């Protein structure tokens, strides 16, 4: 099987994960998405819907990657004209990418443009490795920085936004990040405003078509995976007033862009909010459900992946994925601690530790299995409220070797 076909299968498998983990487990409808609109200067909330619900960030991740690179530039650890190597790992990233060959030396400023304007995954990983030595170390630093900025529900596992079930965010956290970019590194904001950049005498247009077409729009980032739907952070300025908006989970890029336009039009049509208006900080910190919704679409067919799920019942019922660790002992210790924390929620669940497939070095995933749907949802919500990672997995995917958490 080719690498591309294997990756497509993984995306399809991810798109099968059930969204039905809200407080009401009988809820079957897919959500309309999450949105948040704020005043850039005051952080006053103009509109909010599912703003603290967990979501997959997709390539909105690259806004944080850029933030980390800008810090390295400010600290003198990198320079814009510095050439950094493209590793085999960076060159091997899935599309979208520029096709940078392993072993090449590429300037930091070109990698930044490629990552921000064209959403190139190979450029993002090359920058991550230049800053931290490895993408894994960089992702750890990203999450640490997220906490420092007040992004309480965001976890980063890679620099690009390619699917990882542990990499999650909220519309609130993305708005915090966008505002931090504007306030901390205004000298670099023009990179998010570029409509194209040049590479090998060829113009490479931005992926942010909404920015190009909306009057007053001047920045930020798009994102898409089968798990996230179509995401967008947008910013626009009119008459000295700047608005930041986040749209997560659009069914198509057109639907996403139309919703962003509607949100921005409403924001600019309304007067500036009063001083006592609610701000980002007043939004609830607890997510409204345990795991991100997953939005299947026409290009993310899910039927083949469902058919691959084994039926021999090796891992029964619903399962909680509690994280992956370097040893079985670590995994078992996490299970033991989490079961203690969950006693007030449910006493059900059997411990299980499985070796992750196709992972070098070997990692071991900690699970609680044999739960019903309601207990799985409530347990994950409780663990998230304590600051722990948790992903609830339905029976059809618990034993499926092609799901991303495996």
User: What is residue 282's DSSP assignment?
Assistant: G
Residue 219: strand pairing partners:
235
| Residue 160 known to be catalytic | no
| Residue 372 and residue 361 in contact, taking contact as beta carbons nearer than 8 Å | no
Which of these is catalytic: 18, 48, 87, 119?
Answer: 119
**306 contact partners, CB below 8 Å, separation of at least 6:** 16, 396
Half-sphere CA count of 315, side-chain side, radius 13 A: 25
Question: What is the maximum span of the chain, computed from C-alpha positions, in angstroms?
Answer: 64
Rounded-to-integer distance, Cα 238 and Cα 247, Å: 20
Give Cα 65 to chain centroid, integer Å: 12
Residue count of the chain: 406
| Residue 113 and residue 194 in contact, taking contact as beta carbons nearer than 8 Å | yes
Q: Which of 124, 33, 46 is nearest to 87 (CA)?
A: 124
| Residue 87 known to be catalytic | no
Give the pairing of strands 364-371 and 105-107.
Answer: unpaired
Which of these is catalytic: 62, 172, 221, 381?
Answer: 62
**219 contact partners, CB below 8 Å, separation of at least 6:** 189, 192, 193, 211, 234, 235
Which of these is catalytic: 59, 132, 160, 324?
Answer: 59
Residue 353: strand pairing partners:
366
Rounded-to-integer distance, Cα 3 and Cα 23, Å: 38
| Residue 119 known to be catalytic | yes
Catalytic residue IDs: 59, 62, 119
């Amino acid at each position: 099987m080719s690498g591309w076909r294997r990756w497509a299968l993984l995306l399809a498998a991810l798109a099968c994960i059930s969204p039905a983990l809200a407080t009401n487990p009988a809820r079957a409808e897919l959500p309309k998405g999450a949105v948040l609109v704020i005043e850039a200067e005051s952080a006053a909330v103009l509109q909010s819907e599912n703003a603290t619900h967990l979501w997959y960030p997709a390539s909105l991740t690259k806004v944080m990657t850029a933030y980390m690179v800008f810090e390295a530039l400010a600290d003198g650890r990198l320079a814009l004209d510095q050439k950094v190597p493209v590793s085999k790992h960076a060159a091997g990233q899935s599309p979208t990418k520029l096709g940078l060959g392993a072993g090449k030396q590429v300037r930091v400023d070109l990698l930044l443009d490629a990552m921000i304007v064209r959403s190139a995954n190979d450029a993002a990983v090359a920058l991550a490795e230049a800053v931290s030595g490895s993408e894994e170390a960089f992702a750890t630093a990203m999450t640490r920085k997220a906490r420092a900025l007040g992004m309480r529900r965001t976890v980063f596992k890679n620099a690009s936004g390619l699917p990882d079930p542990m990499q999650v965010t909220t519309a609130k956290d993305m708005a915090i990040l966008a505002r931090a970019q504007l306030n901390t590194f205004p000298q670099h904001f023009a990179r998010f405003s570029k409509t194209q950049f040049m590479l090998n005498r060829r113009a490479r247009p931005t992926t942010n078509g909404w920015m190009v077409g909306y009057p007053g729009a001047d920045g930020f980032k798009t994102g898409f995976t089968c798990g996230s739907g179509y995401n967008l952070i947008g910013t626009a300025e009119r008459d000295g007033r700047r608005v930041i908006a986040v749209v997560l989970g659009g069914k198509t890029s057109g639907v996403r862009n139309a919703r962003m336009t509607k949100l921005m039009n409403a924001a600019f049509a309304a007067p500036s909010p009063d001083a006592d208006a609610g701000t980002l900080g007043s939004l609830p910190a607890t997510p409204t459900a345990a795991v991100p919704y997953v939005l299947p679409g026409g290009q993310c067919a899910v039927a083949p992946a469902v058919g691959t799920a084994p039926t021999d019942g090796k891992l029964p019922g619903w399962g909680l994925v509690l994280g992956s660790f370097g040893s079985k002992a670590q995994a078992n210790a996490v299970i033991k601690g989490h079961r203690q924390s969950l006693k007030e929620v449910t006493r059900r669940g059997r411990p299980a530790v499985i070796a992750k497939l196709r992972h070098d070095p070997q990692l071991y995933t900690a699970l609680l299995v044999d739960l019903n749907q309601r207990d799985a949802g409530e347990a994950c919500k409780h663990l998230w409220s304590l600051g722990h990672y948790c992903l609830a997995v339905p029976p059809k995917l618990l034993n499926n070797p092609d799901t991303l958490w495996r």
